[in-house]
Amino acid sequence: NMTFVWSEISFLSKWWDKASATQKQQFRRLLHEGRLEILTGGWVMSDEAVSSIFGLTNQMIEGHSWLKRNLNYKPKYSVSLDPFGQGSSMPYILKNSGIEGMMIQRLHFAWKHWLGEHKNGDFLWSQRFDSTGKHSIHCLNAHYDLYPTKHRHAFIIMSKINNILGNEHEEHLQYMTPVSSQNILHLADELMGQYRRTASLTSTTWLLQELETIFNLMNPLNGTNNIHNYDKLFQFINANPQRYNARVQFGTILRYFKAVKDSHVELPTFQGDFFPYSDTYFPYSPAYWVGYYGTRPFWKKLSREAEDELRKAEILFTFTLNHLRQQNHSSEAQHIQTISAKLLVQRQLQTYHSYTNAVGESFANLADQVPLKFPADGTTKKIVFFNSLGWTKSHLVRILVETPFVSVYGTSGEPVSSQINPKLGTTENGDSGIFDGYYELVFVAYLQPLAHYYEIQREEDRKRAKTAVTTSIVDQQSYITMENDEIAAYFDGKEGLLKGITRKAEQLTTKVNLTYGKYDTSFGSGAYLLRPHIDSKTNLLANCRNESGAQLYVVSGPVMQEVTDIQKPYRLFYLTNSVKPQGTKFGEFFMSFQTDLETREKSFNDDSLEPRKYVSCNKLCLYPRRTGGKTFLNFGGSSHGFTSTKSGQLEAIFDRRLPYDDARGMDEGVNDPEDMVSNYVLLLEPLLKVQGDKAWAPTLEIQRASKFLNFQPTAFVYDSIASDNKNMHRNCPIYQAVSG
């Protein structure tokens, strides 16, 4: 009569690949009998604080597809035990994937207390935009802080019941007591007393209590003895209804949710999320798990880029397969389907690279790093851009070339405005300045949905090449103004840092004092927890400057303007950080914007699905800041921890290097930094006069800017002998596949 649950499909698939035919048959039998229940069905038990809506959805599709193929099974209920805090995106995804109920574990300790005090352990989790309840889902808050037995209030009695205990219970070995006829009455009374106290935290007459975890079942003998003890107690309690007035049995989450549903209890409704997560374990004071929002940013960005490539590969694959089917190329379609099965195993980046290799005539080129060469035989370069978004987008293209005498032409052969920039940067030995023999070709590409191409030709008539570029070292006591028809940006002439932005159409100006700094680390600040020395703020760029300030360059041309600090380049609208802390090994490294906005205590956070408003928030990820008729927004290309310690300030932790372990399971500090580039979009908007929640809802411009930051177009480059445009079109296999 024992029952079990399984959650993450990634581990199940690994076991399944090595399981024997008999084991697979037994597994299917347990599923059919209801003694084994698969929960959620996702590839992993996903965190919401640092993930994207695409990642959350994709891993659900991956896991559910595996269950359908191998077991013909569809999960009905979900469990989330280990993510640090719970967002509102997963309830929406779960409900729309067929999940009927969910159980969550790790919440802020104050939320745990409030839900228990008000008997709201069971509630309907609804979406703010859903007025009909269509997307609401029954949610159960697990009544204790963590899933291991030692973190429950019933620890002592459960320790008595457990015959052989694992390492996590060594401090309570004195309580080990096998169940016998002499002590069964006493142990049953204690167990039922604990169950009743726990049940008082909810408004239903049912209680779901986890009995064992993987930590207890590592030793098979341990699990067997413990289950025998529980079985004796359950039989004794059920045989004495007059004494206990209860029935106890082994079960799964499905049985609990079905029992609550059949009891027709009216559940309260909750909207919002449960961020951030906080505990009080050690050092027995509130500890906020917000440090991991910015820990190891290199891997967070790599994950987002892998998601982008996977998404593009899936779109291109779908178009290719449909094109072959429409042309009745059954053998080629079957070949593509065979490749698809292999790609599902290789996953994400391998998927993308396998697909691009299979294309044949084209190759993916990191055009901003690998210089393009133009031989004298008339060879041109054709660049096919794959825009995976569903709308036309202007995109600033920057390509490294070995000659400044090149021109750009559009699809119909029309000349495209372009400019040649000097290549600025720092060599491996630390020298900085202009690189000889390398140039940067820049032009604005107006990309249609899906695919669009441009052609780059070597110019024999050097007068036709767009080399009209002004480059100068800035007077370091002056201000730099860079502008176009829509905005103007003001930079400090000495440091090269952003100081203000003006939106011309609305004559809207805001001060933006950009700085880079570092907080010293403190004991207890680690991979998960953020506990910096707030009073130890230092200027991060102080060690990168000489007495005269930064080494600045201004590049101006018909296409774009740019101010570059050799230590960290950034661009109009798009801010790019490549700051490498020098002279220090450990610290909390941040980027700060001090604006003239009166934000007071209101802040906003984008949780992938929708933005939410917070009041008096502390140590939260947040994005929009609105006040006084204008809004200043900062979009990050990947997860970062944002906070605001005073009115008008927005601060982002972009890297963390820590010597200490925070006693939350890592058993190490964070001392393995990787060099990376952080990308942000800064946006100044007027605050529209609308009513209610729409006042802070994201505008179309905001949504598109955010999407474009995460789903950048991909450039495919190949050689083409100059000829008429019609033949060039046919010679582009990617373009043909997409257009088909």
Give the model confidence (pLDDT) of 435-464 as tens digits: 777 888 889 898 888 888 888 888 776 666
CA distance 49 to 84: 8
- Res 551: pLDDT: 66
User: pTM here?
Assistant: 0.82
Q: What is the pLDDT of residue 545?
A: 56
pLDDT at 114 over 80: yes
Q: Which of 422, 309, 435 is nearest to 366 (CA)?
A: 309
| Residues 688 and 346 sit within 8 Å (Cβ to Cβ) | no
Residue scoring higher pLDDT (508 or 135): 135
pLDDT at position 125, please? 96
**Cβ neighbours of 544 (radius 10 Å):** 19
State yes or no: pLDDT of 268 exceeds 90. Answer: yes
Highest mean pLDDT among 169-178, 492-501, 724-733: 492-501
The alpha-carbon radius of gyration of the chain (Å, integer) is 30
Phi, psi of 453 (to 5 degrees): -130, 155
pLDDT digits (tens, 9 = 90+) for 68-108: 999 999 999 999 988 999 999 999 999 999 999 999 999 99
Is the pLDDT reported for residue 24 higher than 80? yes
pLDDT at 237 over 90: yes
Amino acid residing at 646 = K
* 668-682 average pLDDT score: 82
Mean pLDDT within 400-411? 87
- Which residues lie closer than 8 Å to 277 by C-beta, 6 or more apart? 84, 85, 106, 107, 108, 288, 289
Q: Which range, 337-341, 655-659, 683-687, has the best average confidence (pLDDT)?
A: 655-659
SS3 of 440-504: the string is EEEEEEEECCEEEEEEEEECCCHHHCCCCCEEEECCCCCEEEEECCCEEEEEECCCCCEEEEEEC
Three-class SS state of 243:
helix
Residue 211 carries which side chain, given as an amino acid letter?
A: L
Residues 6+ apart with CB under 8 A from 581: 518, 540, 587, 589, 655, 657
Higher pLDDT: 195 or 283? It is 195
Q: What span, in angstroms and rounded, lies between the C-alpha atoms of 226 and 165?
A: 9
Q: Which of 267-271, 359-363, 370-374 has the lowest mean pLDDT?
A: 359-363
String of DSSP letters for 330-393: HHHHHHHHHHHHHHHHH-HHHHHHHHHHHH-S-EE--TTTS-B---TTSEEEEEEEEE-SSS-E
Taking residues 188-193, what's their average pLDDT? Answer: 90
What's the gap between Cα 576 and its chain centre? 19
Helix axes 53-71, 89-96, angle to 10 degrees: 30
Q: Around 172, how many Cα atoms within 13 Å sit in the side-chain half-sphere?
A: 20
Element (H, E) at 259: helix 253-262
- Give the residue, 151 or 629, on which the prediction is more confident: 629
| pLDDT grade for 124, boundaries at 50, 70 and 90 | very high
Instruction: Return d(Cα 720, Cα 379) in angstroms, integer.
Output: 6
Residue 279: both structure tokens together:
């505990």
Q: What is residue 722's predicted lDDT score, i.e. its pLDDT?
A: 44
Distance, CA of 204 to CA of 485 (rounded, Å): 63
Q: Count of residues for the chain? A: 740
Ranges 139-153, 209-223, 392-406: which has the least confidence: 209-223
Closest CA to 573 of 481, 700, 702, 682: 682
The pLDDT score that the predictor gives to residue 281 is 79
Question: What average pLDDT does this structure show over 355-378?
Answer: 50
